[in-house]
Structure 1
Amino acid sequence: MLNKLRPALGRVLTPIGRAVARTGVSPNAITVIGTAGVLAGALGFFPRGEFFWGTMVITAFVLFDMLDGAVARVTGKISKWGAFLDSTMDRVADAAIFSGLMIGLYRGGQEGLAGVALYCLVAGVVVSYAKARAEGLGYTCNVGIAERAERLIVVLVAAGLDGLGVPFVLALALWALAALSTFTVGQRFAAVRAQALADTASGTDPRPGTDPATGTGTGPGTGPASAARTEPGAGSGPARPEREDEPKGAWRAGRGIRRGGRRGGGRGGARNGGRKPRAERRAERPA
């Protein structure tokens, strides 16, 4: 839902990104530094129950990490590798935040709530993976009421307030995130299923390596030549003559007779060496 605010946020971050770009730091370096800071805050403070200070550190580095896109735009260093790195590091940061919360809650004697934090971690991974997999298949999957931005805001605000002593807020936030993340997974499943059924009905296939018009493969081994190579009996011997008047099986029998004749005459003559029978040779011997 908050992704709709990206254009406005980009206008705010662009001047800051331009100032950061003058320092010479690269967008990828910002991504890595931001993720490292989130890891330090989540795994250094949350497991010890210091939720407020952990939230402060994480929030600072999350805001810093948001500058990587602005720096990439103003420097012209937008790349697929940068997008891949940023998305992957976001997953690492999310896992660290919920893992730190889970450990801290478990050590604090709140085993049930620690289990809810673990569920939120798994559900968040599925939400992100569903979108990535759908886009890999050629579908759009931008639906959902609990995307990454919403999950981060809810969990960080709740953790910070819990660190200040506000009761029940973290428990309510985690249970709400668990429910909303589950609902978001269902939304994305439904959206992708609708697109897949529409493609099936129209006979198209959006996957890479297929012809959108026919839904058939366009990669190696999918053309007519490949079909000819795999035709049963291809290349197994001489073709049978196309003679309608020839009795069934006569051609194979003829081949066997001819081969038998060659074996009998040729090999027999070779064994005798062209000599006369033994009885005739004895009769011709001198007395």
Structure 2
Amino acid sequence: MLNLFARGHVNRLTDPVGRRLVALGIGPDTMTVLGTVGALACSVVFLPTGRLVLGSVLVTVFVLTDLLDGAMARARGHGTPFGAVLDSTCDRMVDGALFGALAWWALTGGDEPVAAAAALVALVGGQIVSYVKARAESVGLAAEGGLVERAERLVLGLLGAFLAGLGVPYALTVALVVLAIGTVVTLGQRILAVRRSSREVPRA
């Protein structure tokens, strides 16, 4: 949902940076891999050990590089099929590391079993939401949109972790429960979108 409203504004900020990086000889795929490695490392090193403020800030910094690889592809004038697959694969890896790390902390140092359960629901549900879209597109159907897409998942998860690190009571639990519910709703929306698309194909 955030993508629909923020994409144009974000592109105006990232496109000049993307052009500069391309001019320096850096490729979009390199930026994708660097951002992914950084986000994975910060997720598994800082979040499970309770350093939630530092971890959430660093993961956010590396996640933002996901905006730059798209800007760099636009600066080159084209993307590549490999780059699209790499970007999507890396997104799934970061999501898994982030919410797996939050679930681990919630079950151990955080002693918040509800947050842990919600994190796992958000993790598995988010992967399925992405799979539904990819599978639908592979057979010529559409499965766009939804209440909670990747941007919302990251914002809620990282904001909840940051506030919990500052000592705000139940911040992570509330954020992850809202996220889990939103993810389930989004999965239903995607399935309905595929159903509508499948009904339109024979008439097209």
TM-score w.r.t. length of structure 2: 0.94
Is residue 144–residue 184 contact of structure 1 (8 Å, CA) maintained in 2? yes
What displacement does 1:113 show? 2.3
- 2:53, 2:161 within 8 Å by CA — same for their partners in 1? yes
Partner Cα separation in structure 1 for residue 37 and residue 105 of structure 2: 20
Q: Which has the larger radius of gyration?
A: 1
In the TM superposition, 1:187-266 aligns within 5 A as 187-199=189-201, 202=203
Identify the residue that residue 123 of structure 2 maps to in structure 1: 121
TM superposition shift of 1:143: 2.3
Q: Which residue of 2 aligns with 1:138?
A: 140
1:58 aligns with 2:59: yes
Structure 1 residues 198 and 65: alpha-carbon distance in aligned structure 2, compared to 1, 3 A threshold:
closer
> Which residues of 2 match residues 54-203 of structure 1 at below 5 A?
54-76=55-77, 78-108=79-109, 109-199=111-201, 202=203
Of Structure 1 and Structure 2, the greater helix share is in 2
1:25 is matched with: 26
| 2:7 corresponds to 1:2 | no
The AA in structure 2 aligned to 1:196 is: S
How large is the RMSD of aligned CA atoms in angstroms?
1.4
Q: Distance between the aligned counterparts of 2:145 and 2:69, measured in 1?
A: 25
SS, match of residue 64 in structure 2: helix
Unmatched runs of 5 consecutive residues or more in structure 2: none
Give TM-score scaled by structure 1 length. Answer: 0.67
Question: How many residue pairs end up in the alignment?
Answer: 202
After superposition, the C-alpha distances for 1:57-86 in whole angstroms (9 at most, x for unaligned) are: 101101123201111221235211111101
Q: Which runs of 4+ in 1 moved over 4 A?
A: none
